[in-house]
Amino acid sequence: MDFFSEGALVRVVTCEPIERPLEYKAPEGGCRIGDFVIVPLGMRKVLGCVWDIGRGGFDLSKARSISMILDVPPMQEEMKLFLEKAAKYTITPLPLILRLATRAPGLMNPVSMKKVYRCGKSNDMKITASRQKVLSVFDEFQGLCFTLKELADLAGVSSSVIKGMLPFGAVLEQEAPRDLPFMPLDPDKLGKTLNSDQQEASQILKAKIQDKGYATTLLKGVTGSGKTEVYLEAVAACLKEGRQALVLLPEIALTSEFLDRVEERFGARPAEWHSGVSMTERRRVWKMVGTGGAQMVIGARSALFLPYQNLGLIVVDEEHDGSYKQEEGVFYSARDMAVLRASLCSASVVLASATPSLETWVNVEAGKYTRLDLKSRFGRAVMPDMQAIDMRGEKLPSNRFISNALVKEVEKRIDKQEQSLLFINRRGFAPVTICRACGHQVACDHCDTRMVEHRIHNYLMCHQCGETKPIPKICPSCKVEGKLAPVGPGVERLAQEAEQLFPDAKIAILSSDLFTTARALKQQIQKIASGDSDIVIGTQLVAKGHNFPNLTLVGVIDADLGLQGSDLRAAERSFQLIRQVAGRAGRAEKKGAAFLQTYQPEHPVVEAILSGDEEGFWKAEAQERKAAGVPPYGKMAGIILSGPELKDVMQVANHLARNTAPLRQNHIQIFGPAPAPIARVRGRHRVRFLIMCQRKAPLQAAIQNWARLVKLPSGIKLQIDIDPQSFW
């Protein structure tokens, strides 16, 4: 990397909301491109990174000097290029992208110390069974040091046993930096025995990693086919090459279960990176990833922006999942950014899914990605039988949502001591509370959305801003008492109905809003997996990779729920979600069945789900998208203007609408301005443009030139979403 001697002018990108890099003088001892530094900005000291040589053009005597270079490895060139390309593609200021890549608290603080314990030497200490366990840990992990808790947990002894070995010198207590390397993973440790399909797929993935070049592979396997075991073999191959591996998961609730599987496979736990990790641990992970002290990271989408020293493999598990799209701050798709990052550091990407996204399917068809198929379930398990329940023939009261046909199927499973899952993709008790006297629907005070009743917590909640209020007894509009009624079912209402229909059954609810911690959610999942419940009532949380061995029946309460609306991915998402949920049934030796309650059994999506004709579904969906010129066959962007006063927002929107030359001259279509489907969120009015063009059009450059035509007034915010996944 280029070296700049003391006093040389360099450009520094800070983590502050400033559009351009700032220029500083190199400190005493000089600096290099990529160095993480602390620089003065006004009266403050802020974090930044030396980006390139300064350009000058001003009085150099006024330039300030870099205050300090952080004692961390400099940013590598591939990481720098990745951030630049990500910023350009998403039309995001580079400082915001850099902030995303440095979200570890305490980076600017001096290195702190803590007590660690190493193996010593002693010839006169009596060896007890407990002391031998401690010595065995040192033998197994030669040269490593541990915290007192780590050593005690590994040895299975109390901390007093370890402290009792200190006077003999058998264990040494020392001061060491607080951020220690993670325990090494053993890629040679034997994993589970693979079937022929799995072995073939794992060999192909290993070969791609050993080639040390860029490659993206779709690992498509039916639910329960053992995709995880296959890509863990790819992780093992990556570790053998001395490179780092990253596995992205779509849901924090999956992390602890997955960590157990990784520890079983490699003999130690990898690094974790997600919102549930403590601030101290986040700093440790960030630093160890940069120094090579973390061989493998299990993380949420932002783990892509960690400073890997030698990244060789990125796995995007359940690659179709919508939660991989970040829709606050920096708008990006983790799946797409994973492919970009891998291409820049000659790494392999594995996109794993039973129901891939159409974008991935199209890239496979175009020859950009390789495809590997696992066509059968692992072991003796087989795919569940699937059939529809035509709700037009069911004579149910207005307050009943579980059909008589499904009730009979659940009763059969209870008699056989097997588990049933009733699925509805709605949290809470009821999505709408309406006054039967005046028709008023209780809405959020800050958003244009109806508040959802959560009867377990005894409040109404806005699922946009999180605002809550007590469930009212008097209508806020007409002031009539006793006329407010919940309309429609959520998981809580479904659980209440199940309690009435199956009074002797043990019922559990799986919904993200009912668990305050990941630990509590993990405990509930473990209880269900152990057979503690007869009936599980769940939202889409249950579709994400959980394995319940005794679950043999899935009932989808409203298979039509996601088929309506203007979302261009509505059919795809319904197909993916219901197929994933149905796949929870029969994952062990007992055969499973799935029943879909629907008022539209002849709908093409419902028919595709029941027939299992996935290739036919994708081909039909692809043809429709191609004819419409929408992604993945065209480009699309969403532009949202928001502000506290609607007239001010509309004034800016109308100005942009009158000056669309930068778009029109590039044959780019623009629709709007129009109120967004949810026109007010957190008190801010929202107006939307939708932009469409062909794949080859210079979309990002045109949008940037267009957005420069307006100077945003105070309080008005403009957000650009390239490749939008939601349209609210």
Residue range(s) defining the domain that contains residue 135: 113-177
Handedness of CA 107, 113, 117, 119 (dihedral sign): positive
Query: Would the CA dihedral through 268, 273, 274, 278 be positive or negative?
Result: positive
CA dihedral (720, 724, 725, 728) positive or negative: positive
449 occurs within a structural domain: no
Residues 514 and 603 in one domain: yes
Q: Same structural domain for residues 617 and 670?
A: no
Six-digit token pair at 558?
């409203």
Is 107 within the bounds of a domain? no
Q: Alpha-carbon dihedral of residues 628, 631, 634, 637, nearest 10 degrees? A: 110
Q: What is the secondary structure of 76-123 as a DSSP string?
A: PHHHHHHHHHHHHHHT--HHHHHHHTT--TTTTSPPPEEEEEEE---S
Share of the chain above pLDDT 90, in %: 73
Identify whether residues 346 and 416 lie together within a single domain: no
Beta bridge partners of 69: 37
- Report which of 439, 473, 438 is spatially closest to residue 458, judged by C-alpha positions: 473
Are 391 and 251 members of one domain? no
User: At 537, which CATH number?
Assistant: 3.40.50.300
The answer to whether residue 473 is domain-embedded is no
Q: Are residues 308 and 405 in the same domain?
A: no
Quick: pLDDT tens for 235-273. Answer: 999 999 999 999 999 987 777 788 889 999 999 999 999
Task: Give 303-317 pLDDT, tens digit per residue.
Answer: 999 999 999 999 999
Residue % of the chain over a pLDDT of 70: 98
Residues 389 and 532 in one domain: yes
Task: Please indicate, yes or no, if residue 406 is contained in any of the structural domains.
Answer: yes
Query: Residue 565 — pLDDT band, cuts 50, 70, 90?
Result: low
- Render pLDDT for 108-120 as a digit per residue (tens, 0 to 9): 877 777 888 989 9
- 201 plus 341 within the same structural domain: yes
Q: Is-contact 93 61, C-beta < 8 A?
A: no
Last residue of a domain, one of 621, 652, 671: 621
For 2, 328, 672, 681, 688, the CA distances from 675, given in Å and listed in that order, are 50, 19, 8, 12, 6
Task: Single out the residue in 374, 405, 436 at which a domain terminates.
Answer: 374
Same domain, 8 and 80: yes
State how far the Cα of 270 lies from the Cα of 520, in Å rounded to an integer.
22
693 inside domain: yes
Q: In what order do the strands lie in the sheet with 452-454?
A: 452-454, 459-461, 468-470
Tens-digit pLDDT profile for residues 571-620: 999 999 999 998 888 877 788 999 999 999 999 999 999 988 889 999 99
How many Cβ atoms from other residues are within 10 Å of residue 72's Cβ? Answer: 18
Domain-ending residue, one of 621, 655, 680: 621
Backbone angles phi, psi at 417, to 5 degrees: 60, 40
146 and 204: one domain? Answer: no
Radius of gyration for the chain, computed over Cα atoms and rounded to the nearest angstrom: 28
Chain segment 27-39, per-residue pLDDT in tens:
999 999 999 999 9
SS (H, E, C) 187-249: CCCCCCCCCHHHHHHHHHHHHHHHCCCCEEEEEEECCCCCHHHHHHHHHHHHHHCCCEEEEEC
Residue 704 above 80 pLDDT?
A: yes
Position 513 confidence tier, pLDDT thresholds 50, 70, 90: confident
Same structural domain, 702 and 646? yes
Residue 240 within any structural domain of the chain: yes
Residue 448, in any domain of the structure: no
pLDDT at position 378, please?
A: 67
Tally of domains in the chain: 5
- 381 pLDDT higher than 60: no
Look up the pTM and report it: 0.89
| pLDDT tens column, 618-677 | 999 999 999 999 999 999 999 999 999 999 999 999 999 999 999 999 999 999 999 999
Q: What is the DSSP letter of 18?
A: -
Question: Is 18 among the domain residues?
Answer: yes
Can you give the CATH number for the domain in which 714 is found?
3.30.70.600
414 and 537 share a domain? yes
Domain at 133, CATH number: 1.10.10
One domain for residues 156 and 209: no
